Each structure stands twice: as structure tokens, then as C-alpha cells.
A and B are shown apart, each in its own frame.
Chain A
Amino acid sequence: EDQVTQSPEALRLQEGESSSLNCSYTVSGLRGLFWYRQDPGKGPEFLFTLYSAGEEKEKERLKATLTKKESFLHITAPKPEDSATYLCAVQAFTGNQFYFGTGTSLTVIP
């Protein structure tokens, strides 16, 4: 059964304190792994797509990496505006559905 587990559920960081969020997945043939950012009361906003182990993507203070079993979202020197819930999703080659994790709620304290 395809599934996605994100950890930790919540993370509090001081401004400038770098850390990583984890997304572990089980899928029968990975078509793609997706990272989204969700602000309170809003829909998820696309950040990255990763397709194969070893791939990395960067955007500002965020860097996403992928192995055969998990993905990491690294946040370097975070700022308060990075506070949000970060969602991970996977799509398998068999079937066309996306499976989402429950997210990591990140709070960056000034």
C-alpha cells in the first residue's frame, strides 16, 4: 500500500537555526515526489518535484533531496516568513493518485 509519513509533526526553530524535515514513503514505483507549502487558511503551494534518487532541487533557503526511501527538505538559516506547514506527496507509476503526508508544522521564532 502506498503511503507517506512525515516527521516531525511540529518543529520550532530560532531564526537562523537550520534544520531538516523528513518524508518517508512506500510506493510501488515512484513517478514523482512533491513538496508543498501550506499557510493557514490557504491551499497548498507547490515547491518542488523530485523524480529519482540522488536528485536535489533548491529554492531560496529550501533544498529538497531524494533517496529510494525518503526525502528531506533542508531549511538553511530560516526566517519567520518560512513558518508554514510543509506537505510531502508521492505519485506512483501504477495509478494516477497522489498520496499526501500529514505535514510538518514549522514555526520560526524571531
Chain B
Amino acid sequence: DADVTQTPRNRITKTGKRIMLECSQTKGHDRMYWYRQDPGLGLRLIYYSFDVKDINKGEISDGYSVSRQAQAKFSLSLESAIPNQTALYFCATSDRSSGGARNEQFFGPGTRLTVL
């Protein structure tokens, strides 16, 4: 089974609709992230969370909100979807570094979202 899972994998919606993307992980990591990927722009951070009570805005948080329901679950919501939110969305996890030794991120398979 995959360590980081995302649902749904594909979603087509209309402008103005509320959308929730979900991420679950079995890696036991405390840190979770949401990114979007657009052609030519690379991965950009939307929100990140270092534990259940810690939520932080990333580079492009406007129009998005998140919820960390448990250590293993981190959801991303688009309150009122617009066409320029059409993108590939990735969830990632990382473990709190121990002496700075390992801080790499592990990514889910992605959700392709299309807003018409």
C-alpha cells in the first residue's frame, strides 16, 4: 500500500463549487504539506502543518484553506473554485529532522483538478 494517498485522483468541477482534496499518510510523519504544480511554474507551496495544532500559510494560500484532522490526515479545500485553480495538487510529508540529518519530503500520487 502507498505511504501517502490522495483522494480523489481526478476531479472536474465548475466555477464557484466547493472542493475538498484529502491526503492520508501511514509514514507516521508529523509534517504535512500541500503543493500545486503548474506547467512552467514548478511546485508551489499552498499550506503546511507541523502538527495537528499548527497550520501555516505557504507561498500561494489565497483561495485555499486546510484542516489537519489528525496526524495522518490533511485536507485542502477550495471554498469557491475558479478556473485558474486548475492544476495538479500534491500532498507531501516529512519527518521532524533529528540533528538535521534527514528532512526530505515524500509525495503522494497527486490530484488532477480541472475547474470549468
Whether B105 and A46, one on each chain, are in contact in the complex, defined by CB atoms closer than 8 angstroms, is yes
Q: What is the CB-to-nearest-CB distance from B26 to chain A, in angstroms, rounded to a whole number?
A: 15
Whether A97 and B48, one on each chain, are in contact in the complex, defined by CB atoms closer than 8 angstroms, is yes
Most chain A CB neighbours (cut-off 10 Å) among B42, B56, B105, B110: B42
Q: Does B43 reach chain A (CB closer than 8 Å)? A: yes
Q: Complex: how many Å from CA A94 to CA B40?
A: 26
Residues 39-58 of A contacting B (Cβ, < 8 Å)? 41-46, 49, 51
Q: Complex: how many Å from CA A103 to CA B100?
A: 25
- In the assembled complex, which residues on chain B have CB atoms less than 8 Å from the CB atom of A96? 48, 50, 56
Categorize the interface residue count of chain A: 20 to 34
Whether B90 and A43, one on each chain, are in contact in the complex, defined by CB atoms closer than 8 angstroms, is yes
With A44-B90, A96-B56, A97-B48 already in contact, the answer to whether A32 and B103 are too (CB < 8 A) is yes
Q: Does B41 reach chain A (CB closer than 8 Å)? A: yes
Interface residues of A (CB under 8 A from B): 31-32, 34, 36, 41-46, 49, 51, 87, 89, 91, 96-98, 100-103
Q: List 13 A-B contacts (CB under 8 A).
A: A34-B105, A43-B107, A43-B109, A44-B105, A45-B107, A49-B102, A87-B42, A89-B43, A96-B48, A96-B50, A97-B48, A100-B42, A102-B41
Please name 8 further chain A to chain B contacts, defined as beta carbons within 8 Å, in addition to the given A42-B109, A91-B103, A101-B42, sorted by A numbering. A31-B100, A32-B100, A36-B107, A42-B110, A96-B56, A98-B45, A100-B35, A102-B42
